[in-house]
Structure formats: structure tokens, C-alpha cells
Amino acid sequence: MTDETGANTIQDRYAQQVTTDLEKNRAEQQEVTAQLQTLHTRLEHLRLEETWLAGVQASLAGPGGAQDSSPADDEADCGSSETPEQSSLPQQLGRTRKKAAQPAGGRRTAQKKTAAETATKKVTAKKTSAQAAGAKSAVSTTTTPVLGVLLKAIVDGHAGQPRTALEIGEELERRYPERARAVTIVRNTLERLVAKSEIERTRQKRTVLYSSTDRSAAQTITDGSAAEGERAAASA
């Protein structure tokens, strides 16, 4: 009978250790996944910036742009003193001859310049969107405490009163409904706080309890309870 009890105890310990390790593994997978998403976003941004820089480089490396005015320009200017009906045809002919006389290198430069401007506009628009998203994320991070800070505040608020991960998670959901998390994530975050010595962990049989490391707060609560007991005894 003793051997069976000992075997069951060892098996329970192994099962509990495996459960704890599995929860930590899954929590770490979530963190790594978030980091990969951030790196993927950064890679896309760098690729867009590379496209924009390549377009600018191509436009700067091209031959000279506009040439001196051609005789077609002079003909168009001379026709400007005529009536609109008389000047419309010469102007159209002048523009046609101007396009035909334009060097091939100038047309290629203009095309490259147009492509570079289009790429610049696209990259600028995407940069603006990325900056807006980053600013929004920064504001959200600044104004919203991280989960560990919230959990430590809850534990410190019950100094001298150890609580389970389930109780702490339920209070988190009551006080911050939008930050509610599964009990496994709450327990993993509490374990990280224990590793940093920000809170303490104790065991009562098979129950794991978490308590505050703030001794002054715990002593204040104890003194207050004692004082209330004395006042109640005196009034009786």
C-alpha cells in the first residue's frame, strides 16, 4: 500500500511538472510568433524603401533632361496672336513636331522620372500609414499597462493574503475586462514575476499561491486587522 501511494505521488509530481513545462512552452511560442510578425512587417518596409531608392538612383543616373526650345516652339508662339480658330491647327502641328523632334534619351529620362515619382508617392503613402500605425501602437503601449504590471498590482493589493492564479485571473477580468486572459497565461506571467522576485510563490499541499513581497503593506493590513479586533473587544 505504501509503495502504491509513493508511486502515485511521484506520478502526480511528474504530471504537474509536465503540465507546467507545456504551459511555458506554449507561452514562449506566442511570444516568438509575435516577434516573427514584427520582423516580417519590418522586412516589407525595407523592400518598399529599396524600390523607392532604386527608382531615385535610376532617375539621377539618367542623361540630361529637357533640351533647348525647338523651332516648333517658336512657330507655336508666333501663332498665338491669331484668332483661336486660326491658331489651333498650327499649335497642334507644332506640338506634334516637338514630340517627334524630342531625342530618344530625353523621352527615356522623362519616363524614368515619372516612374520614380510614382514609386516615391507609393512609398511615401505606405510610410505614412506605417508611421501612423506605429504611433497608434506606441500610444496604446504607453497608455495601457502590460499584463505583468496589472497582475503585480492585484497581488500587492492583497498583501498578506496569498491567492491562486485562478483568483487573480478572475479579479483581472473584473477590474480590466478588456485585458482578461486565460488562466494558463496568467499563471505563466505570475511565474515570470516570481523569477524576477517581484512576487512570492508558496504551496499548500497541491495548491500554488502567489503573494506580495511588500512586507510593509502586509504589516499595515495585519496591524489594521489587530486594531479592529481590539476596538471590537473594547466595545463588547
Task: Decide which of 91, 110, 143 is a domain's last residue.
Answer: 143
DSSP assignments along 125-153, one per residue: HHHHHHHHHHHHHHHHHHHS--HHHHHHH
Please check whether residues 169 and 198 belong to one and the same domain: yes
Do 179 and 146 contact (CB within 8 A), yes or no? no
Please check whether residues 118 and 166 belong to one and the same domain: no
Q: Which of 16-30, 48-62, 81-95, 171-185 has the lowest mean pLDDT?
A: 81-95
Q: Which amino acid is at 191?
A: E
Residue with cell 487573480: 168
Domain count, the chain: 2
Task: Decide which of 85, 120, 143 is a domain's last residue.
Answer: 143
For residues 39 and 216, the model is more confident at 39
Rounded CA gap, 146 and 150, in Å? 7
Task: Decide which of 143, 168, 192 is a domain's last residue.
Answer: 143
Q: What pLDDT is attached to residue 92?
A: 58
Between the CA of residue 171 and those of 85, 90, 181, what are the distances in Å?
Answer: 84, 84, 11
The answer to whether position 223 is within a domain reads yes
Highest mean pLDDT among 24-33, 116-125, 212-221, 223-232: 24-33
pLDDT > 90? residue 24: yes
Please check whether residues 173 and 124 belong to one and the same domain: no
Q: What pLDDT is attached to residue 131?
A: 73
Please check whether residues 204 and 191 belong to one and the same domain: yes
Please check whether residues 156 and 213 belong to one and the same domain: yes
Going by pLDDT thresholds of 50, 70 and 90, the confidence category of residue 194 is very high
Q: What pLDDT is attached to residue 162?
A: 93
The answer to whether position 82 is within a domain reads no
Strands (E), 69-214: 199-204, 207-212
pLDDT > 90? residue 76: no
Q: Domain range spanning residue 215? A: 145-236
CATH number at residue 223: 1.10.10.10
Please check whether residues 126 and 195 belong to one and the same domain: no
Please check whether residues 130 and 166 belong to one and the same domain: no
CA dihedral of 61, 66, 67, 70, whole degrees rounded to 10: 150
Q: What pLDDT is attached to residue 128?
A: 74
The answer to whether position 219 is within a domain reads yes
Rounded CA gap, 185 and 31, in Å? 11
Kindly report whether the global pTM for this prediction surpasses the value 0.85: no
The answer to whether position 26 is within a domain reads no
Region 167-194 average pLDDT: 94
